[in-house]
Structure 1
């Protein structure tokens, strides 16, 4: 179970002046252009600030172009002894800038530490957005992050949706609030430059150098492979996001015109290409079981159905009836009498 507590810190003074306007005007102009279509002029924006160089650059850039329109939040996972002090450091910087700030202290459930921390972090920030009546959250994901995600998923054989990586405009994972990532066209080195230029300090999480994590190993490999351009990879991911949106639009048309429910059964008469059929099959499996099926399971099911073979996936029986695929919950097997 994940527990959450909030601490609001708005007026702590620090012993040195900070001036985000020291940022190169070219960089602030570039950031303004990146956010024009994402951040409405009359909209308040919540910033996820961890205290690292990426998120501190996000804070500096947002404060430079739209002071008075932002609030910040820092999540303290309590996984390191230093995390509380680091969150307090962010609070002091935000107070000096006049940016409202809250620290959310959470307890991470057991299991995969990074995955559970991510789920708990976004759940806490979603709740914070609602309490503060802020409609949109911004995170500091950048081109290097996107390239790492793309290459990791490429190595796992992900499809279009997976290779599209994180989107510039989406919703908070597991939630409903809007989430934007305005730094996807920026390299990490550029963000460090912004943070240094603004005179903001930042913290370094030692887990970012822990080679036991897949992402850290990928980051190291990417840094050592000079011919791979993270910005070009990020651009490719953005193109795939557009392709994914087009496929999803086709799936909506296919669903509305080719799927109907009869009692507890769903009848689907496939017409679109296989990649769209997989989207429909995934939706039907989730509608029946309440669980999101794995992509490999869906792909295998559609391949078998296309070959004229009925199948079973995650407790859902799929039968070919004429030109249609019938999806229904697999009936319970009768126990044999002794």
Structure 2
């Protein structure tokens, strides 16, 4: 009961009672982490959860893992839905993740669920932060796995109430319930970066994954502050100015730190129907700051320095327009 109360408190911090308009959906793979999520949620919210399990079609064992989750859910009277997805060509892990979350959103909408929870825990968060540090990620990446977000392309809240829990704690919950969880061999396959890092972390007992996860949470708060400032920058320093040809265009008075300007550039690109990554927007910022034109996401940005009437000073002014098609005559 103590663990159930702890889980209920962690869940309430992400999903207050007054915001709950439907049952809690759980994404359960059959591994020890997600089975622990099922057991804890069942104890804390009896009769108010639903479970699904996704088969990505990548391993022959996956069907048995889905069946395991179905048996565990059925034994507790929990509604269960098996989901099968087909992956598009490309990076398998990335495609599996995209397909999984798309399936979760569709399932949640069809079942009238209030939100969906996954079993990411402190060890996962620590691994994510260290991997991204090693890749030179910016603040958005270093914020790690968010405790609460929306499933991409939907309005379904995505919750991760176990980010303060250790993997060993969750395994113990499952063991005490007398359940033998599934074992995904990719978790220890050295072909994957995360598996190699996980093995090294197990040897470094001086590292505390809970504290590393706490650092990721602090970075996430910092990122939220930057997002707030970027929203302000968009509304106060970006003006729509259509071209003489009637095409949409935007003028940006760029007078903020680089990290904020990058977010504003991305928003301008999206507003003009284009797409760019943060690294591409960062390179565009460098060119514009140096007084050079930049092209990204089908948008041409031209820098200048002008007196801006609304602030009464000389400022960098960058104009964004749809990039002329090849062969067009200006």
| TM value normalised by structure 2 | 0.89
Residue of structure 2 aligned with 1:325, choices 302, 315, 318: 318
Distance in 1 of aligned mates of 2:197 and 2:300: 39
Q: How does 1:152-191 map to 2 (within 5 A)?
A: 152-191=131-170
SS in 1 for 2:59: coil
Distance in 2 of aligned mates of 1:154 and 1:50: 28
Residue of structure 1 aligned with 2:327, choices 315, 330, 334: 334
- 2:310 aligned partner: none
Q: How does 1:189-204 map to 2 (within 5 A)?
A: 189-204=168-183
Shift of 1:271: 2.7
Residue of structure 1 aligned with 2:204, choices 198, 204, 225: 225
- 1:288 aligned partner: 272
- 1:77 aligned partner: 56
- 1:32 aligned partner: 8
Shift of 1:289: 4.1
| Counterpart contact for 2:23–2:112, Cα < 8 Å | no
Say how many residue pairs are matched.
311
| Counterpart contact for 1:122–1:174, Cα < 8 Å | no
SS in 2 for 1:75: strand
Shift of 1:117: 1.0
- 1:45 aligned partner: 24
Which runs of 5 or more residues in structure 2 are unaligned?
243-247, 307-314
Judging changes above 3 Å, is the alpha-carbon distance between structure 1 residues 295 and 175 closer, same or farther for their aligned structure 2 residues?
same
- After TM superposition, the structure 1 stretch with the greater mean CA deviation from structure 2, 272-281 or 45-54, is 272-281
Higher relative contact order (CA 8 A, sep 6+): 1
Distance in 2 of aligned mates of 1:164 and 1:152: 12
The two structures, once aligned, show a CA RMSD in angstroms of 1.7
TM-superposition CA deviations, 1:156-207 (whole Å, max 9, x none): 1111111001111101134331100000011111110111122233101111
- 1:278 aligned partner: 262
Shift of 1:335: 7.8
Judging changes above 3 Å, is the alpha-carbon distance between structure 1 residues 271 and 197 closer, same or farther for their aligned structure 2 residues?
same
| Counterpart contact for 1:254–1:271, Cα < 8 Å | no
Does residue 215 of structure 2 align to residue 236 of structure 1? yes
SS in 1 for 2:13: coil
TM-superposition CA deviations, 1:40-63 (whole Å, max 9, x none): 445410000101000000001011
Shift of 1:110: 2.5
- 1:12 aligned partner: none
